[in-house]
Amino acid sequence: MVAYIRQETMNKLKDVIQLRIRYSETDQMGTFYNSRALEWFECGRSELMRNRLGMSYAVLEGKSVFLPLVEAHLEFQGGARYDDLLRISSGVELHGRAKLRFDVEITHSGTGKPVVRGYTVHAFTDNHGKAIRPPGWFVEMFKKAGG
Amino acid sequence: MVAYIRQETMNKLKDVIQLRIRYSETDQMGTFYNSRALEWFECGRSELMRNRLGMSYAVLEGKSVFLPLVEAHLEFQGGARYDDLLRISSGVELHGRAKLRFDVEITHSGTGKPVVRGYTVHAFTDNHGKAIRPPGWFVEMFKKAGG
Amino acid sequence: MVAYIRQETMNKLKDVIQLRIRYSETDQMGTFYNSRALEWFECGRSELMRNRLGMSYAVLEGKSVFLPLVEAHLEFQGGARYDDLLRISSGVELHGRAKLRFDVEITHSGTGKPVVRGYTVHAFTDNHGKAIRPPGWFVEMFKKAGG
Amino acid sequence: MVAYIRQETMNKLKDVIQLRIRYSETDQMGTFYNSRALEWFECGRSELMRNRLGMSYAVLEGKSVFLPLVEAHLEFQGGARYDDLLRISSGVELHGRAKLRFDVEITHSGTGKPVVRGYTVHAFTDNHGKAIRPPGWFVEMFKKAGG
């Protein structure tokens, strides 16, 4: 069922960040609560766009281009605890004619042990939430960046 | 230091709701994470406005009146765990000329044991975040409701 | 890619709850932030277990049986805003020999318009996080409940 | 009412971190949701303990010493938005015989404009949640660190 999760090496446009698990992100099972993974995916996306795409997501929204999430998949591979340092590796590619897809792998920063992997698919919308094609300047910027 | 926290009986405009603690709201200490209390205060405010003030906060924002939080105080009095049923008692009053103050007491629904108490103070702003006086119709509605 | 998401009618053991979107669950796009859906899935699971399985998840953990999430899939189908009342329909089934699978559909309570659908897969572990087979008494209880 | 909030310069044991606002931390008002400030206070505490106290909070819990929050106060002084870089300045001192108090100031990293200030007070408990005096080795370590 998970054969469609890509390896991080398959995306050409990639970025890596580190992130420490907050106490607020734990739950009574002693690990992190599952939904935090989607928030960490977002941290990866934000920095990938800033560092590799040449335009932060904040600036993109300022141009009235929004990227709401339309699909997400997560596999929880191993535990991680408060104060653990994580490595978040994100890649991005154009997905069909009007979507972006981010593939993410989260591992322990020191040991490389897997924690979560998954992907998110995003539509393009205007500031009224209406679906749009990615603007020409965005596609050009994306390809120029190597995506 | 906490003498200024009012008893719930002191507010004339009051409401009570029940709420069950989510797993996502716990932390590895086995109780609820501290910041959730501010989210529960918000649940109490929302229902107090809907049930007693005659106008939900959603409708109020639709009229371009916003109530951003400017001050909050919390006392954590006793533990509470996943799946516990809480009683949230909220009261509201006009605070000075241009603010609202909500006083909140959270207890265990069954035993009445105290969990958190505190208050939040809210400014009135327009949809650009600019501070405003509470509109005349709001004050009238508030007083008519018994506040 | 989403053909494997089951219709809610396919599960025999089902439950429905209602839930109002909190302000804390919104984001600056004006809808709910994506990760909240996983928290709402959890609310559906908790009530399904309490109401239909004859044992709350809190009691299950008290017996040292934990159900950590190992896989999740989400499709975001339509917007929903602060204070909207949602209908969360959850079904559960045994998944292979040692997992549980919950299928969830979230719609607007009034109009039935779809908001999110997806599923979560859960392993069984003991209180040390070690994978276990579902205890015999659990499987018996599950089947007796109609699952 | 807020005269009791200390200036950051008053604590001897201090630390400063930077933190970028996540999209998940915004709300539909376009700023950050109020409860996130308590989560950011926690980030400040964690790094202050690691960097200045010579023992991370994770290690402290490993020694069965917990610091649950018993009181918190927050003043929201100015807006901050998604992707803004914040400066979190935290100080700590022993508070009475059996508590710790952290004072925090959050400002915009670039301009220094104030965002939130406040404090949290923490009890010492053992791993059963029972209140304890701070262990002698902790007080010694604290004073040696300059607190």
Q: What are the tens digits of pLDDT across the range A7-37?
A: 555 678 999 999 999 999 999 999 999 999 9
How far from chain centre, in Å, is Cα B53?
A: 13
| Cα-based distances in Å from B101 to A111, B96, B105, D75 | 50, 9, 14, 14
- Torsion-angle region of A49 (φ positive above 0: left; ψ -120 to 50: alpha; else: beta): alpha
Structure letter (DSSP) for residue C22:
P
The pair phi, psi for residue D91, each rounded to 5°, is -130, 155
Residue A107 and residue B102: Cα distance in Å, rounded? 43
Written as one letter, the residue type at C65 is V
Report the first-to-last Cα separation within chain C, whole angstroms. Answer: 27
CB-based burial, B64-102: b 16+ in 10 Å, e otherwise: ebbbbbbbbbbbbbeebebbbebbbbbbbbbbeeebbbb
Distance CA C74, CA A24 (A): 23
The torsion defined by the Cα of A132, A147, A76 and D43, in degrees rounded to 10, comes to -90
* B24/A33 CB distance under 8 A: yes
Residues of C with CB under 8 A from a CB of B: 20, 22-24, 38-39, 42-43, 46, 56-58, 81-83
Q: What pLDDT, on a 0 to 100 scale, did the predictor assign at position D12? A: 81
Residue-wise pLDDT for B27-43, tens only, equals: 999 999 999 999 999 99
Best of B83, B88, B102 to substitute, by most chain C Cβ atoms within 10 angstroms, is B83
Looking at the complex, report in whole angstroms how far the Cα of residue C75 sits from the nearest Cα belonging to chain A: 4
Residue-level pLDDT at D2:
37
Residue pLDDT, tens place only, A91-138: 999 999 999 999 999 999 999 999 999 999 999 999 999 999 999 999
Which residue of B2, B4, B27, B34 is the best one to mutate when testing the D interface, meaning the one whose CB has the most D CBs within 10 A?
B34
Under 8 Å between Cβ of D76 and D135: no
What is the Cα D1 distance to its own chain's centre? 21
For residue B51, the 8-state DSSP code is: I
Please state, in angstroms and rounded to a whole number, the distance separating the CA atoms of residues B76 and D124. 14
B interface residues, D as partner, C-beta within 8 Å: 1-2, 4, 29-31, 34-36, 38-39, 66, 68-76, 79, 120, 129
Give the DSSP H or E segment for C38.
Answer: helix C36-48
Whole-number pLDDT of residue D66: 98
Name the 3-class secondary structure at D110: coil
Q: What digits encode the pLDDT tens for the residues D32-55?
A: 999 999 999 999 999 999 999 989
**Secondary structure, 3-state, A73-123:** EEEECCCCCCCCEEEEEEEEEEECCCEEEEEEEEEECCCCCEEEEEEEEEE
The model carries a pTM of 0.94
- The reply to whether residue D27 touches residue C30, judged by beta carbons under 8 angstroms, is no
pLDDT for D36 equals 98
Q: Sheet harboring A99-108: ordered strands across?
A: A13-20, A85-95, A99-108, A114-123, A69-76, C69-76, C114-123, C99-108, C85-95, C13-20
Average pLDDT over every residue of B97-116 = 97
Alpha-carbon distance A103 to A14, whole Å? 9
CA distance C100 to B95: 52
- Percentage of chain D beyond pLDDT 70 is 93
Q: Which residues of D touch C24 (CB under 8 A)?
A: 27, 33, 35
* Chain C residues within 8 A of A70 when measuring between CB atoms: 75-76
Query: Closest chain B residue to A29 measured between Cα atoms?
Result: B28
User: Is the confidence at residue A3, as pLDDT, over 50?
Assistant: no
Q: Which of C24, C58, C83 sits opposite B39 (nearest CB)?
A: C24
**Residue-level pLDDT at C10:** 61
Residues of D with CB under 8 A from a CB of B: 1-2, 4, 29-31, 34-36, 38-39, 66, 68-76, 79, 120, 129
Across chain D, mean pLDDT equals 93
Give the model's confidence band at D142: pLDDT under 50 very low, under 70 low, under 90 confident, else very high.
very high
Question: Which of the two residues, C12 and D72, has the higher pLDDT score?
Answer: D72
Question: Percentage of residues in chain B with pLDDT exceeding 90?
Answer: 90
- Mutation target to probe the C interface, by most C beta carbons within 10 A, among D24, D26, D27, D34 is D27
Judged by CB atoms closer than 8 Å, whether chains meet at B35 and D31 is answered as no
According to DSSP, residue D21 is labeled P
Q: Which of D120, D136, D123 is nearest to D44 (CA)?
A: D120
pLDDT at D6: 56
